[in-house]
């Protein structure tokens, strides 16, 4: 498990995972459905990237995100794009 406390640490961890899988930045971008520039910025630790796309990259690399130290909450189990009561 990798502990991430900054955008730079996230970028470094994802770059290492990409290289370990033998993927180029363009290959990862294609697999995640994002642009190559997004991968470059993500690996550089840019702090203002869209979370949805970060999660797509993590998924494309076969990873997942776990939060620790926060209170447990029940999963919403709502389909994507639902209005969440709006």
> How many angstroms separate the CA atoms of 29 and 17, rounded?
14
pLDDT tens-digit readout, 27-86: 999 999 999 999 999 999 999 999 999 999 999 999 999 888 889 887 665 555 444 443
Report the pLDDT value the prediction gives residue 61, as an integer from 0 to 100.
Answer: 98
Report the pLDDT value the prediction gives residue 73, as an integer from 0 to 100.
Answer: 80
**Is residue 24 scored above 70 in pLDDT?**
yes
Report the pLDDT value the prediction gives residue 85, as an integer from 0 to 100.
Answer: 45
Q: Give the CATH fold of the 8-60 domain.
A: 434 Repressor (Amino-terminal Domain) (1.10.260)
Report the pLDDT value the prediction gives residue 76, as an integer from 0 to 100.
Answer: 62
End-to-end CA distance of the chain: 37
Residue 75 tokens, joined: 């999963």
CA distances to 2, 68, 75, 80, 81 from 71, in Å? 20, 8, 12, 23, 25
pTM of the model: 0.80
Report the pLDDT value the prediction gives residue 67, as an integer from 0 to 100.
Answer: 87
């Amino acid at each position: 498990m990798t502990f991430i406390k900054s955008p730079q640490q996230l970028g470094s961890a994802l770059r290492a995972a990409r290289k370990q899988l033998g993927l180029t930045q363009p290959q990862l971008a294609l697999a995640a459905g994002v642009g190559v520039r997004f991968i470059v910025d993500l690996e550089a630790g840019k702090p203002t990237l869209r979370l949805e796309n970060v999660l797509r990259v993590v998924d494309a690399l076969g990873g997942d995100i776990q939060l620790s130290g926060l209170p447990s909450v029940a999963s919403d189990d709502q389909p994507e794009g639902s209005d969440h009561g709006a």
